[in-house]
Amino acid sequence: MFQTSFKYYKSRNPPPTFENVLLIGTDQPNLKPVQLTHDNESIFSGLYPPNDWKIYELCSRPGLLLLANPFTCEGQRYWMKRSLVNYPMHPNTTNQSNASQSTQQVQWWKMVQSITDATERKKFAQKLRWTTLGYQYDWTHKIYDETRKENFPSELRALVQYVATVLGYNRFSPEAAIVNYYPIGSTLAGHTDHSEDDRTAPLFSFSFGQPAVFLIGGLSRDEQPDAILLRSGDIIVMTGESRLCYHAVPRVCADLELPDNMGNSAKRWDPNDVSVEQHDDEMWNDVEQYIQYSRININ
């Protein structure tokens, strides 16, 4: 059941319809609004006030929380830049860390910017697929390496703890993260996240850039999954029963592939937004160029 849905949404010819894909932030029967249990008066830079957030639980997957984009345009830009400029830097590990010694000596983003030909720049940039923060994940043995614990980014820790506290997880403290970089057309196969020591702690997933179809199934591949469209700024939190459910990304797409009522992800980081600071426009131009053909996912 799970694999059948994966192949359906991955298909190029014929392409899938999106009629059964849930859109976070809209009134749909399978999305139950979640009310915060207390007023949240504190404000976090780059986020709208919590009382304005739209939070839902997927009725068919108890414990799966969905937050419709709570980020301001400036906030989205900030996390896109952090993900591209700072997080792929040594000593964090990336899938390119062993490709050549130069990637460990030179900042990856500076290498991207040094390529003047647009086609070659895009080709090089798309080779970066992941970077690990904090505890470095051993992809071969599927474990977190106790001998390789780097400093977890303080600004990302603050963001995750703020969102966690708003949702009632006051004791949550992130120690590891994987940042995934998805070019349009790429996929992530069905899997469960079970390498963490504490599997009762929630998992937080932040999406930026191009939209993607996210599948969430049950505890086995035999269950029919639900399909959810993740757009820039949307947040998924896997808690409780949903924590060990199978999930996947069968499709990273561009807005043009989506029905009119589901697209317009780019408006979520509108370059004409007057609230955005202007001192780093040159850097943003390069980041925006990258994000036109990519999705960033911080887990």
With beta carbons less than 8 A apart as the criterion, state whether 256 and 63 touch: no
Q: What is the pLDDT of residue 198?
A: 65
pLDDT above 50: residue 101: no
The first and second tokens of residue 28, run together, are: 């749909």
* Tens digits of residue pLDDT in 27-79: 888 899 998 877 777 889 999 999 999 999 999 999 999 999 999 999 999 99
Pair type for strands 31-33 and 54-58: antiparallel
Q: Which residues are annotated as a binding site for Fe cation?
A: 191, 193, 247
> Looking at residues 173-200, what average pLDDT do you find?
84
Q: Which residues are annotated as a binding site?
A: 191, 193, 247
Domain limits at 134?
1-298
Q: Which of 71-85, 190-204, 224-238, 252-266 has the lowest mean pLDDT?
A: 190-204
Q: Which pLDDT band, with edges at 50, 70 and 90, does 279 fall under?
A: very low
Backbone angles phi, psi at 228, to 5 degrees: -130, 135
pTM: 0.92
First to last CA, the chain: 26
Based on the structure, what is the number of domains in the chain? 1
* Tens digits of residue pLDDT in 203-227: 999 999 999 999 998 888 888 999 9
Mean pLDDT value across the chain: 88
* Coil, strand or helix at 284: helix
Q: Which residue has the tokens 């199978």?
A: 246
276 against 220, higher pLDDT: 220
146 against 100, higher pLDDT: 146
Q: What is the pLDDT of residue 191?
A: 78
- CA neighbor of 136 nearest in space, from 121, 146, 123: 146
- CA neighbor of 208 nearest in space, from 88, 295, 83, 78: 295
Give the separation between CA 156 and CA 154, rounded to whole angstroms: 5
> Looking at residues 241-258, what average pLDDT do you find?
88
With beta carbons less than 8 A apart as the criterion, state whether 269 and 77 touch: yes
Q: Any idea what the CATH number is for the domain that residue 209 is in?
A: 2.60.120.590
* Tens digits of residue pLDDT in 106-162: 689 999 999 999 999 999 999 999 999 999 888 778 788 788 899 999 999 999 999
